[in-house]
Amino acid sequence: MPESRNESGVVGAEVLPFVVLVFVVGTLIFAQAWAALDAKLAAASAAREAVRTFVEHPGRDSADATGAAVVAGTRAISGHSINGDGAIAAVGTPRLRRCERVTFEASLEVPQLALPHVRRSPVVVRARASEIVDPFRHGLGGRAPCRLPS
């Protein structure tokens, strides 16, 4: 009669490296998705801050307002402590006039996680924000060309 051997626990030892590998890869995928989401939130915040700074700029010069908006958007990005290159730009040529629609776009490059033998380009996230210059704003000449709801 052959001797029976107890082989319980052998499957667990063989599966353990696979479970660790799945856990590590899943964690890396989650971290990459979280970095992209965080960058998207930072870009949206920067675009909102830039457009808000433009429409509330105290002067009358559009170039000065654009410069102030870019600085405000850049500060908003740096406040989020994002690792990546960010840029703030006006969409079109913004003019500081009553009822003028102004749009700014923020874009951020989020580096992909480094994996051995895998070459990937960075993920670029973009966000836009748009606002209308107040028709009753003090300090701007001319009449408001927009139609206001009654």
Residues 6+ apart with CB under 8 A from 60: 96, 139, 140, 141
The pLDDT score that the predictor gives to residue 149 is 59
Does residue 9 carry a pLDDT above 60?
A: no
Structural domain contains residue 64: yes
Question: How big is the CA angle at 76 (ends 138 and 89), to the nearest 5 degrees?
Answer: 70
Summarize the confidence of residues 58-79 as an average pLDDT.
Answer: 90
- At 24-51, the pLDDT tens digits run 888 888 888 888 898 999 999 999 999 9
Q: What's the predicted TM-score (pTM) here?
A: 0.76
Structural domain contains residue 4: no
Structural domain contains residue 68: yes
Count of structural domains, the chain: 1
Does residue 98 carry a pLDDT above 90?
A: no
Structural domain contains residue 83: yes
Structural domain contains residue 147: no
Structural domain contains residue 144: no
**Domain with 72 in it:** 16-132
